[in-house]
Structure 1
Amino acid sequence: MKIVVQVKLIPDAVQAAAIGSTLRAVNESANWVAKVAFDRGVNREYELRKHTYAELKDCGLGAQTAQHTIKKVCDAYRSLRANLRAGNLGKPGSRRRVRAQGKPIAFRPGAAQPFDDRCPSWQYDAQTVSIWTTGGRLKGVRFACSAGALKMLRDCRRGESDLIERDGVFYLVAVCEIPETPLNEHPAGWLGVDLGVVNIATTSTGYRAAGRGLNGHRKRQLELRRKLQAKGTQSAKRRLKRRRHKERRHAANINHIISKRIVTEAERTSSGIALEDLGGIRQRVRLRKPQRVALHSWAFHQLGTFLEYKARRAGVPLVYVDPAYTSQICADCGHLDRLNRVDQATFICRACGVVAHADGNASRNIAARGEAVWTAGRESRVPAAT
């Protein structure tokens, strides 16, 4: 399986100027290629290369960099078409959809630029990297990362690396190919995971990751942003810029901790993981205005992604199940009633009278559905021989 390792570049002043000018140059070229593709209606990479490759070479881009710039533009248009087909940019005729379709794709000056395996050269012992720039190859650029990331780079790095600038800091994002643990084909049981806002994750084994701390952190950050935006001074704007990714990093760290604990528990008990499929939930539900911030800040997709790749690394099977009515069905007797869910935390079955935590009851239903989905997917559909 492929995962990425991000390292922070620590260039000196001359190196930083060369790297910055290189990123600006390749992204300006990408904007020109995107305009050519838009004006000519070209979708295929081979055809677009015939219209742009020679000009990119004349502008000072190397052969591999020019190829990757064209490929980056084609990938961006492919993603745009996929979002349009999926309805992520609104219905046909909507303002957002018309605006996205009516102009060429634009790249930021610091947008990521992919390099193949031959462009950057890594020196792991010295923790330096040499990289191509528009002014020539830059050698001895120092980088910083954790000991675990350095070991992964040394042992598993394969393929391309992306150069990116974020808040004036340069990073290299390298692709690593990690050997997968053989999948457990016959799990001893299933661990259901119910996702939520009040409780970020609740498992059928009793683990509950409360969301009080994360929700409180988000509320404090929101209030601080409001105060700084209302103040409007230069120092307030500088502080806003410094803190703009703080909440996202904190939420990602929490999701890493939760997903690691869930996968470790599943691996220890030789169980599979059943996760509810919440795709499109933001479009389906209707909430009052004060509740919309919590819904749109809910990073359930990120948690699911973390669970998925950690489970693959550990050889733990993971399936997605339909979450419909899991909070209203009694996990003991199977009785379905909307009134079974008394409030956010309490579940009382109207048929058998069992009292349980609502999220815990839902996680048990998800575990049962996960086992059914796994069994149905592995059963043979070939008719028996007669």
Structure 2
Amino acid sequence: MKLVVQVKLLPTPVQAAALEATLHACNEAATWVSGVAFAKDVKRNFALREHTYAEVKQRWGLGAQAAQHTIKKTCDAYRTLAANAKAGNLGKPWSKRYRRATQKPIVFRPESAQPYDDRMLSWQIPERTISIWTLDGRVKGVAFIASPEQLARLALYRKGESDLIARDGMWFLQATCEIPEAEQNADPAGFLGIDLGIVNIATTSDGQIMAGRALNRGRLRERTLRTKLQRKNTPSAKRRLKKRRRKEARRAKDINHKIAKHVVAEAERTGRGIALEDLTGIRERVRLRKPQRATHSSWSFAQLGAFIAYKARKAGVPLVHVDPAYTSRTCAECGHVDKANRVSQAWFACRSCGFVDHADRNGSRNIRARAEELWRRGAQSTAPDPPPTPEGGTRRKRSATAGGACCASSPL
């Protein structure tokens, strides 16, 4: 199982200048390579090298390994773009968004992530330093900080490439680690159903409600503040906007990691599997009034589901995704389905048997029942290879949008 460990670099001003110049040169070269790939319609790694390798080395002064990784990064970006277009993530082929993404070359931001292999980067873990290739030659003794758990993971399991990332004036390295997986529980003692929502982020079939009221209040506060600062548009307002960017996303990610950790720990402790709703495409299926759109769009159910998936796989807990249709209208006691059963957002009252329960808990019990039925029929765990997140994900795919790869923060 591949996880990514993110460590923070502490370069001196001279070292940081060398890293910045190298990153800018690599991404400028990647943008040029992207233009060649688009013009010649050559987007396979070895074929594209024939057209660009010598020029990249000579024009930008990149070493052999850096040039190869720059070309490969460009090919990965086009491959991801094609996959997103095929999956419909860019809209319909005639839409403006689709045409804007596919009818011009991909452009990489000056500070987009750059991959490094062991020929370009070496780790001195006991000293907490690295030696890294730059345009100015090998820069040695670049300090980094990491927790004891991260250091142990790097020493035991680091394997493959690492990505150099610049973010808000800070420098990070994301190192790939091959972690041995726990043996999956093939005979779970039932399932722990999880109902995902906006008001209540997650509700378990045991009756535990993890409310999102504080998170939603924080999102509203941040959104209101951003609106005021954008309207003011003064230099100080711009500084405050820059300082607060990604704060809301970091808070949501932190909460999602805590919820996922708690859910997986409870399932592992009780010997159960985890049942989740398959909410793929829910934003396209739901029509909302304008005041609700911002709240619905900021609902990070996919992120929470991904965190639960990789933590479950790491712990050997089986995970089953079920069809969420009518789980909120179905009585968990008698099975009666009626739209009128859902009295309000918070309460469920069956029109047939009179059963009354919290609406999200009733839904989570229905999710649990569907997962148990699927498991009895021979369904397998649907915990996939975890999506890319530092210290909790697979190797990150290059971004298929203009601007290159994006970054993620480390989980708890």
Work out whether the TM-score is over 0.5.
yes
- Once the two structures are overlaid, the 10-residue window that deviates more, 183-192 or 118-127, is 118-127
Aligned pairs (5 A) from 1:44-59: 44-59=44-59
SS in 2 for 1:132: strand
> 2: distance between equivalents of 1:371 and 1:41?
49
| Partners of 1:117 and 1:158 within 8 A in 2 | no
* Structure 1 counterpart of 2:289: 288
Give the 3-state SS of the residue equivalent to 2:15 in structure 1.
helix
Match of residue 361 from structure 2: 360
Between Structure 1 and Structure 2, how many residues are aligned?
A: 379
**Partner in structure 1 of residue 178 of structure 2:** 177
- How far residue 377 of structure 1 moved from its aligned partner, in angstroms, is 3.4
Report the equivalent of 2:239.
238
Contact 1:328 1:340 in 2 (8 A): yes
Distance in structure 2 (CA, Å) of the matches to 1:175 and 1:106: 25
Q: Secondary structure at the match of 1:253?
A: helix
Q: Does 1:23 align with 2:20?
A: no
1:199-218 alignment, distance < 5 Å: 199-218=200-219
Amino acid at match of 1:48: L
Question: TM-score, normalised on structure 1?
Answer: 0.96
Q: Distance in 1 between matches of 2:296 and 2:371?
A: 25
Unaligned segments of structure 2, at least 5 residues: 381-412
Aligned to 2:254: 253
- Structure 1 residue 378: Cα displacement: 4.6
CA–CA distance in structure 2, aligned partners of residues 106 and 230 of structure 1: 29
Structure-to-structure mapping, 1:318-357, within 5 angstroms: 318-357=319-358
Whole-angstrom distance in 2 between the partners of 1:329 and 1:240: 45
Cα contact 1:348–1:356 (8 A) shared by 2: yes
Aligned partners of 2:311, 2:289: CA distance in 1, in Å? 35
Q: Is 1:122 matched up with 2:123?
A: yes
Aligned counterparts of 1:224 and 1:148: Cα–Cα separation in 2: 37
Aligned residue in 1 for 2:134 = 133
Query: Counterpart of 1:58 in structure 2: which amino acid?
Result: Q
**Structure 1: 5+ residue stretches without partners:** 380-386
| SS state at 1:125 partner | coil
Amino acid at match of 2:103: G
Give the corresponding residue for 2:277: 276
Secondary structure of the residue aligned to 2:343 is coil
For 1:134 and 1:377, locate their aligned partners in 2 and report how far apart those are by CA, in whole Å. Answer: 56
Hey, what's the Cα distance between the residues in 2 that align with 1:176 and 1:239?
Answer: 37
Q: Is the partner of 1:68 in helix, strand or coil?
A: helix
RMSD between aligned alpha carbons? 1.1
Give the C-alpha shift of residue 105 in structure 1: 0.2
The answer for the alignment partner of 2:2 in structure 1 is 2
Contact 1:273 1:319 survives alignment (8 Å): yes
Letter in 2 for 1:360: R
Q: Which residue of 2 aligns with 1:382?
A: none
Aligned partner of 2:404 in structure 1 is none
Cα displacement (A) at 1:370: 1.1
Secondary structure of the structure 2 residue equivalent to 1:377: coil
Q: Which runs of 4+ in 1 moved over 6 A?
A: none
- Give the corresponding residue for 2:405: none
TM-score (normalised: structure 2): 0.90
- Cα 1:377–1:106 change in 2 (3 A) is farther
* CA displacement, residues 199-234 of structure 1 (integer Å, 9 cap, x when unaligned): 000010111100101001111111111222122221
Instruction: Kindly indicate whether structure 1 or structure 2 has the higher relative contact order, using CA contacts under 8 Å at least 6 residues apart.
Output: 2
User: Which moves more between the two structures, 48-57 or 354-363?
Assistant: 48-57
Inter-partner Cα distance in structure 1 for 2:103 and 2:36 = 14
Instruction: Report the 3-state secondary structure (helix = DSSP H, G, I; strand = E; otherwise coil) of the residue aligned with 2:377.
Output: helix
1:7 aligned partner, one-letter code: V
What SS does the aligned partner of 1:310 have?
helix
Code of the aligned partner of 1:359: D
C-alpha separation in 2, matches of 1:36 and 1:329: 56
